[in-house]
């Protein structure tokens, strides 16, 4: 079967075609139209502007996905769309487009939770012409722990089977991606802040010895690292950066080397907390698989430190990471999550998807949906 998926939860308008047969998935196309350049001017995503851009881009991006996949809409068997969580003005565009296509093409439509998509992006295989991965139980071993790190979420999630989610802990205030974006803004760096901060911090680390960087490496607190739970807090860390910047004179604040040092200081503190909390969860649950999910999973320092943790302390745990293309928001991840869901549905439930165009609604705070 062929799945056409749509994603418009934030500032990327995306559509993809996923082929799914006998438990094998191939990504036939993955089209993304990014609005970053527009939102950079405002220092962050403006929901109403995002909505307008989605309206402009949604039809061309669906066309592009079908064209790149080399198939016509008659060969689409299932439609999938991000139903939430996300920005409501942005979600409605994708959901309305998907409902309309479902109605006029008479195809079943499934609503997918965005973070589930990020987690399932880990099961898209290595690049080998087409992207292939076997989507069968023996490929993904459970229990699985996912570290979900995006612009709006920071969670440790336990999965005892496919589509079974238990949130072990989550941020009590800012998400880690949000903290990256806000700290970048304080440092005068453009939106999105994550890649800007990590690029500067990584370059600095290549140029300097750990000894030279020690003062900055240890500059900021590691909030909640010692707390006996799996929750996070990044707002205090953000404030610590702000107070530290207030003490500096205007010339220092413009100094590239100083900015890079602050990027390094912040990134080390944030990564330490994420790795420390992950370690706590892996120690207790000894999962067979550990994955990272969401935009911040593109962070190289985070990937490296998690790899070190797994290699040295949890060698029996399989560590999966999404390909960089599938770390950030995309529709392929929504397609693959839809494939796993559809595979596990009864015939009656599958049939009811033909009526989703009547009832499916976006939900800005959509929780994980456990398969019953
Ligand atoms: O998953 P995502 O694309 O959108 C949401 O679902 O929120 O995540 C976007 C977030 C932004 O906060 C962005 O700054 C962050 O991911 N991000 C990064 C990196 N690349 C993107 N954060 C740290 N390091 C990166 N390399
Ligand atoms: Zn996302």
For the residues of 334-349, what is the DSSP string, one character each?
Answer: HHHHHHHHHHTS-HHH
- Ligand positioned closest to the Cα atom of 34: 1
What are φ and ψ of residue 253, in 5° steps? Answer: -60, -20
- For atom 10 of ligand 1, the residue with the nearest CA is 151
Q: Is the pLDDT of residue 126 over 50?
A: no
**In the predicted model, is pLDDT for residue 176 greater than 60?**
yes
Taking the centre of ligand 2 as the mean of its atom positions, its distance from the CA of residue 207, in whole angstroms, is 32
What integer pLDDT is reported at residue 125 of this predicted model? 61
- Residue 116 near ligand 1, beta carbon < 6 Å: no
Find the 347 Cα to ligand 1 centroid distance in Å: 38
Mutate-to-test residue for ligand 1 from 180, 234, 323, highest number of ligand atoms within 8 A of CB: 180
Tell me, in angstroms, the distance from the centre of ligand 2 to residue 162's CA: 20
The tens digit of pLDDT for each residue in 211-224 reads 999 999 999 999 99
Give 291-306 pLDDT, tens digit per residue. 999 999 999 999 999 9
C-alpha 56 – ligand 1 centre gap (Å): 24
Q: What is the reported pLDDT for 140?
A: 85
Q: Does the structure show a pLDDT above 70 at 156?
A: yes
Centre of ligand 2 to C-alpha 174, Å, is 15
Q: Is 295 in the pocket of ligand 1 (CB under 6 A)?
A: yes
Q: Is the CB of 262 under 6 A from ligand 1?
A: no
pLDDT greater than 90 at residue 130? no
Q: What share of the chain is helix, strand, coil (3-state, %, to 5)?
A: 50, 20, 30
232 strand-pairing partners: 171
With bands split at pLDDT 50, 70 and 90, how would you rate the model's confidence at 137?
A: very low
**Which of 7, 112, 183, 192 should be mutated for ligand 1, with most atoms under 8 A from CB?**
192
Nearest listed ligand to the Cα of residue 87: 1
Q: What is the pLDDT of residue 24?
A: 76
Ligand 1 pocket, residue 151 CB under 6 Å: yes
The separation between the first and the last C-alpha atoms of the chain, rounded to the nearest angstrom, is 24
Shortest-distance ligand to the CA of residue 334:
2
Query: What's the rounded mean pLDDT across residues 9-19?
Result: 96
Mean pLDDT confidence for 167-177? 98
Residue 113: CB within 6 Å of ligand 1?
no
Within 8 A by CB and 6+ apart from 155, the residues are 115, 146, 147, 148, 167, 168, 169, 170, 171
The verdict on the CB of residue 296 being under 6 Å from ligand 1 is: yes
Q: What pLDDT shows up at residue 127?
A: 41
Which atom belonging to ligand 1 lies closest to the Cα atom of 151?
7
Q: From the CA of 183, which ligand is nearest? A: 1
219: Cβ–Cβ under 8 A, 6 or more apart, which residues?
A: 244, 265, 269
The fraction of the chain above a pLDDT of 70, given in percent, is 96
Q: What is the pLDDT of residue 64?
A: 98
Which stretch of 66-75, 128-137, 183-192, 231-240 has the lowest confidence by average pLDDT? 128-137
Residue 22 confidence (pLDDT): 73
pLDDT tens-digit profile of 227-264?
999 999 999 999 999 999 999 999 999 999 999 999 99
Tens of pLDDT, residue by residue over 321-355, are 999 999 999 999 999 999 999 999 999 999 999 99
* Ligand 1 pocket residue status of 86, Cβ below 6 Å: no
- 86: Cα separation from own chain's centroid: 12
How far is residue 267 CA from its own chain's centroid?
Answer: 18
List of E strands, the chain: 2-7, 12-21, 24-34, 78-84, 109-113, 127-128, 130-134, 144-149, 154-159, 166-170, 289-293, 318-320
The mean pLDDT of 122-139, rounded to a whole number, is 52
What's the confidence (pLDDT) of residue 124? 83
Q: What is the mean pLDDT of residues 128-140?
A: 48
Identify the pLDDT of residue 26: 85
Q: 193: Cβ below 6 Å to ligand 1? A: yes
Pairing of strands 318-320, 78-84: unpaired
CA distance 232 to 272: 12
For ligand 2, the distance from its centroid to the CA atom of residue 209, given in whole angstroms, is 34
Query: Among 24-28, 318-322, 360-364, where is mean pLDDT lowest?
Result: 24-28
Of 113 and 22, the one with more pLDDT: 113
The CB of 180 under 6 Å from ligand 1? The reply is yes
Give me the sign of the Cα torsion angle 320, 323, 328, 334.
negative
By mean pLDDT, which of 5-14, 128-137, 199-208 is the weakest? 128-137
Q: Quick one: pLDDT band at residue 20, thresholds 50, 70, 90?
A: confident
Ligand 2 centroid to Cα of residue 8, in Å, is 10
Compute the mean pLDDT over every residue in the chain, rounded to the nearest whole number. 94
The 10s digit of each residue's pLDDT in 44-55 is 999 999 999 999
The pLDDT score that the predictor gives to residue 372 is 83
Instruction: Return all residues near 213 (Cβ < 8 A) that are at least 6 apart.
Output: 204, 205, 261, 264
């Amino acid at each position: 079967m062929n799945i056409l998926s749509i994603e418009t939860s934030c500032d990327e308008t995306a559509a993809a075609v996923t082929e799914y047969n006998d438990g094998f998935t191939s990504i036939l196309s993955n089209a993304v139209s990014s609005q970053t350049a527009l939102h950079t001017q405002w220092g962050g995503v403006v929901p109403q502007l995002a909505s307008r851009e989605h309206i402009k881009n949604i039809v061309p991006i669906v066309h592009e996905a079908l064209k790149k996949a080399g198939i016509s809409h008659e060969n689409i068997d299932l439609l999938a769309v991000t139903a939430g969580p996300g920005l409501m003005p942005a979600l409605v565009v994708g959901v309305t487009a998907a409902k309309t296509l479902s109605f006029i093409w008479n195809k079943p439509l499934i609503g997918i939770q965005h973070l589930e998509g990020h987690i399932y992006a880990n099961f898209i295989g290595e690049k080998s012409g087409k992207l292939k991965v076997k989507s069968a139980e023996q490929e993904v071993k459970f229990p699985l722990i996912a570290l979900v790190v995006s612009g709006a979420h920071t969670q440790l999630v336990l999965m005892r089977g496919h589509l079974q989610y238990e949130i072990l802990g989550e941020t009590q205030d800012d998400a880690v991606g949000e903290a990256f974006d806000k700290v970048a803004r304080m440092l005068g760096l453009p939106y999105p802040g994550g890649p800007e901060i990590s690029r500067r911090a990584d370059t600095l680390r290549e140029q300097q010895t750990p000894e030279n960087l020690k003062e900055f490496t240890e500059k900021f607190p590691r909030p909640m690292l010692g707390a006996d739970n799996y929750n996070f807090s990044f707002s205090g860390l953000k404030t610590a950066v702000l107070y530290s910047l207030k003490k500096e004179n205007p010339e220092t604040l413009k100094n590239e080397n100083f900015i890079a040092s602050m990027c390094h200081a912040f990134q080390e503190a944030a990564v330490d907390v994420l790795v420390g909390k992950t370690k706590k969860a892996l120690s207790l649950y000894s999962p067979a698989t550990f994955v990272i999910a969401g935009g911040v999973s593109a962070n190289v320092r985070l990937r490296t430190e998690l790899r070190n943790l797994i290699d040295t302390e949890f060698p029996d745990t399989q560590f999966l990471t999404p390909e960089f293309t599938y770390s950030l928001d995309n529709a392929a991840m929504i397609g693959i999550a839809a494939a796993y869901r559809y595979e596990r549905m009864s015939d009656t439930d599958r049939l009811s998807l033909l009526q989703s165009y009547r009832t499916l609604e976006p939900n800005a705070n959509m929780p994980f949906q456990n398969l019953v």
